[in-house]
Structure 1
Amino acid sequence: MNNAADEYILPGGGASISALPKISLHDHLDGGLRPQTIIDLAEEIGLELPTTDAAELATWFTTQAESGTLVDYLKTFDVTIAVMQTRSGLYRVAREFVLDLAADGVIYGEVRWAPEQHLSAGLTLDEVVEAVQEGLEAGVADAAAEGRVIRVAQLLSAMRHADRGVEIAELAVRHHGKGVAGFDIAGAEDGFPASRLADAFDLLARNFVPVTVHAGEADSLDSIKSALFDGRALRIGHGVRVAEDINTQSEDDEGMYVTLGPVAEWIKDRQIALELAPSSNLQTNAWGTELSDHPFDLLYQLGFRVTVNVDNRLMSATSLSRELFLLAEEFGYGLDDLAQFQLNAAAASFLPLDDRDDLIEQILVAFERA
């Protein structure tokens, strides 16, 4: 399994991608557990696992996740969510999550998760949010003690196939500015458009809580349209299928002629960030089976605000540094390209403007020195 301790060097460039400051926008709390932590917490609650060997368990998660469909991919979360039902379990997972981000050079991370999935042991929605916040703050403090400065925020996800959208939106409003930076909807996408949660999105808009929406991963352009217009999304989670609205035609020696459809044009012109997660997108067959098939480079070259993300580090056996390395290796990106991806993410984060500017300055200085 690849982890934050692995160092990734820019192909042909010598710079350490791992050491450079990075911004993580799309990273699921229940998809980033350490295998040994799962084993420890499972033992405490009497949960049977496929194996109690950490390395073998890591391999099991990756193998299961490589099913080729989002629905099967999501089944691996039955295990991780099961060990995240107590205050102590949530605290530990959140604390270690931050430490792993910091070890990978992340200086700002938005941590998304669905509180409604962590109530089986009797905790309330507010209690689970508070437990995660305590763990995140402990992780930030422990990282600082190790000389690593990191800032994190929660994104509260409502499960799009459930009927608790307004309840989770109200939860986000209550905790907004107290550790929670925004709102998301997640889960099975096909058949569950953002319009089903219209009342929740109205509530969030009235209370100035920013929104990102999973869309264009397992469903078509209509899902992205619903995220934009029903969800008022400021970012699109994955959004890889926006490429369906881009027509490319070869012009012999003239190169490529590209036309954008209305959805793609809207997203590009308004610089709505795409939270692309290449390894995860390939696992769920969101677009192709090889990285060379992924439209990341097309979107980047056309001027879309692309960001690089891990989605679920455990299921994809990855880290943000590894994702950047794979893209650089496949598409020939250099240091300036990797810097642009971080600048895109900083600009699209749900932080106040002054804080976004601080992140941008950190990125510019560090990449110039690399």
Structure 2
Amino acid sequence: MSDSEFSETEATSTVDPDVVRRLPKVELHDHLDGGLRPQTIIDIAAETGYDGLPTTDAAELEKWFFDAANSGDLPTYLTTFDHTTAVMQTRDSLVRVTREAVEDLAADGVCYAELRFAPEQHQAKGLSLQEVVDATVQGVKEGERVVSARGGRIHVRLLMCAMRHADRAAEIAQLTVDNHGEHTPGEGYVVGFDIAGAEDGFPPSNHVEAFRILRENLVPVTVHAGEAAGVESIADGLRQGAVRIGHGVRIYEDLDATMNGIELGEVAKFIRDRRIPLEICPTSNTQTGVCDTVADHPFNLLYELGFTCTVNTDNRLVSGCTMTGEMLALAENFDLEYWQFLELTTNALDNAFCDQPLRESLEREVIYPAYAELGGTLSSGEGDSEGLGELHGDHGHVHGAGVEEVQLSMENLRAELAELGLSLDDEDDEDSEDSEETEEK
């Protein structure tokens, strides 16, 4: 969702959009092939002879991607990537696309990002899998240098994706292992593994050999789950060793409304209690059928229940969004404040696949100072915050550690459940009927 969509509603939000744009952000779920600049697609298509674009006007092409993505289902949404991957088949194009992604993220205030892509989708013109990885690593290095030369700071890492409908997952897992670590061709930039593509009907357990390779070599794993498929998809990913869940929002299907509140099922309780991060992508979820609008998104319910939530874009071009826009959308729809942005940002950084010294450096030198500058505007929701130290002292988690957990009133609880097709009313009616029957007897 673009920042401009909030121009008419800024007055009702508790945060200043200009401040949000400047705040440091952490992005864990961003597909390299979903965030190209429209003009870059047109340029590379002309250079490489690709003539399949629906238009060669940059503004029209950007609109086409957004419109095509708003299909309401994941398989149709994924067809937009036919055009982006088509122009990412040479070393030079991969370097350029990756470099520009780094620059664009930095311009949006992102200080750390993990870009994910499927190397197997970039071999149409003869590149080897290792040559694909080498090109993206080069692109990240060039992008970081450009940002640094402009006085900025960003650190970008790479996740290798295997396509879940294909049979190359073990091969991609081994590629990830071969490039994982500073003393490999990946030079420390390749930090983890993912499976992507059509989720429903292609469970993580189809690729047990790949996950075995990764576990044995101590490579961290995230998986797409709980987007187009439900709770079992999430559980399957956890069984294979996932330490983060891409999207994961359909975990709400493992919640049950009772008169005492919301009871968590076995999988939901596991994820909440072990703080398994959910890589939530609000706008993307509206496009793939999880919900109709951001206002209907289960984010707020999951957040209130204590799940470890992070905010991400998924595909900046295809979904027409930025990290700033996503944060503003959540603020507008769920009344989030700056301290909650801090929590969501540190949730992401705490669970990034980079090394601990980098995490500590970004917290100490970039994130905490930026929020400390907000001073008295950094409200904890209690109205008397003394600033950053009170909210996030001792590297604790803001949500449920330094601040009282927000308790849902019955009215708010009913509203949240209604958005998800759940209700306490049925049980209320049943209890009322039982009571009446007892009185009659």
> Any idea what the Cα deviations from partners look like across 1:222-255, whole Å, max 9, x if unmatched?
100110002x001000001101011234x5xxxx
Shift of 1:363: 1.8
Give the corresponding residue for 2:84: 80
Deviation at 1:3, TM superposition (A): 7.7
In the alignment, structure 1 residue 50 sits paired with structure 2 residue 59: no
Partner Cα distance (2:206, 2:158) in 1: 23
2:77 match: secondary structure: helix
Deviations 1:63-105 (A, max 9, x none): 0000111000000000000000000100100000000000000
What CA distance in whole angstroms lies between the structure 2 residues aligned with 1:360 and 1:297? 25
1:41 aligns with 2:50: no
- Kindly report which structure 2 residues correspond to 1:207-286, keeping only aligned pairs within 5 A, or say none: 207-230=217-240, 232-249=241-258, 251=259, 257-286=261-290
Give the SS at the match of 1:192: coil
- Identity fraction in percent: 51
Residues 177-227 of structure 1, C-alpha deviations (whole Å, 9 max, x = no match): 221000000001011100011111010011110000000100011100110
2:200 matched to which residue of 1? 190
The answer (yes or no) to whether the contact 2:3–2:324 under 8 Å persists in 1 is: no
**Does the CA contact (< 8 Å) of 1:9 and 1:17 recur in 2?**
no
Give me the TM-score of the superposition, normalised by structure 2.
0.80
1:140 is matched with 144
Q: Does residue 316 in structure 1 map to residue 348 in structure 2?
A: no
Aligned equivalents of 1:277, 1:218: Cα separation in 2: 13
Gaps of 5+ in 1: none
Please say which structure displays the higher CA radius of gyration: 2
Whole-angstrom distance in 2 between the partners of 1:190 and 1:44: 37
Measured after TM superposition, the shift of residue 367 of structure 1 is 1.1
Instruction: Give the equivalent residue in structure 2 for 1:330.
Output: 333
State the match for 1:93 in structure 2: 97
In 1, are the aligned partners of 2:130 and 2:175 still within 8 Å (CA)? yes
Matched residue count: 362
SS in 2 for 1:275: strand
Instruction: Give the conservation status (yes or no) of the 8 Å contact 1:91–1:134.
Output: yes
- The answer for the alignment partner of 1:161 in structure 2 is 165
CA contact (8 A) 1:9 1:16 kept: no
2:30 aligned partner: 27
User: Aligned in 2, Cα 1:248/1:354: closer, same or farther, shift over 3 Å?
Assistant: farther
Partner of 2:346: 343
Structure with bigger RCO (C-alpha 8 Å, 6+ apart): 1
Q: Distance in 2 between matches of 1:182 and 1:44?
A: 32
Q: SS of 1:128's equivalent?
A: helix
Encode CA deviations 1:129-173: one digit per residue, 9 max, x unaligned.
000110110000001011110001000000001000110001000
In structure 2, distance between residues paired with 1:148 and 1:363: 13
Code of the residue aligned with 2:70 in structure 1: it is E
Please name the residue that 1:360 is paired with: 363
- The 3-state SS of whatever aligns with 2:229 is coil
1:13 counterpart residue number: 15
Residue equivalent to 1:122: 126
CA–CA distance in 2 between the matches of 1:160 and 1:214?
Answer: 10
Residue 143 to residue 220, structure 1, CA distance change in 2 (3 Å): same
Q: Secondary structure at the match of 1:120?
A: coil
Instruction: Give 5+ residue unaligned stretches, structure 2.
Output: 182-186, 375-441
- TM-aligned CA distance change 1:335 to 1:159, over 3 Å: same
Secondary structure of 2:63's counterpart equals: helix
SS in 2 for 1:310: coil
Q: CA deviation at 1:355?
A: 2.2
Q: Which amino acid in the other structure matches residue 35 of structure 2?
A: G
Runs ≥4 residues deviating over 6 A: 6-10
Please give the alpha-carbon distance, in whole angstroms, between the structure 2 residues aligned to 1:131 and 1:354: 26
TM-score with structure 1 length normalisation?
A: 0.95
1:67 aligns with: 71
Q: Which residue of 1 aligns with 2:216?
A: 206
Amino acid of the residue matched to residue 257 of structure 2?
Answer: T
Distance 2:299 2:311 in 1: 9
Find the residue that maps to 2:286 and give its secondary structure: helix
Give the whole-Å Cα distance in 1 for the aligned partners of 2:15 and 2:77: 35
- Superposition CA RMSD, Å: 1.7
